[in-house]
Amino acid sequence: MSQNEDRTIMLNITKVIGILIAVMFTLIFVAGYIGKDL
């Protein structure tokens, strides 16, 4: 495997982790918002 492919895979992993964290924060925020309303 070339160095370039390795870097691309690392970027993709970082992107996926970032998306997962963003989704988690959104879910927590929405759950807190709904919980406050009830």
| C-alpha dihedral (25, 27, 31, 37), degrees to nearest 10 | 90
Q: What pTM value is reported for the model?
A: 0.64
Q: Binning pLDDT at 50, 70 and 90, where does residue 1 land?
A: low
DSSP letter at 12 equals: H
What single DSSP character describes residue 19?
Answer: H
- The Cα-based distances of 14 to 1, 2, 7, 22, 37 in angstroms read 19, 19, 11, 12, 35
Instruction: Convert the pLDDT of each residue in 5-38 to its tens digit.
Output: 999 999 999 999 999 999 999 999 999 999 887 6
- pLDDT for 36 equals 82
User: Tokens for 22?
Assistant: 């963003």
Q: How far is Cα 7 from Cα 22, in angstroms, rounded to an integer?
A: 22
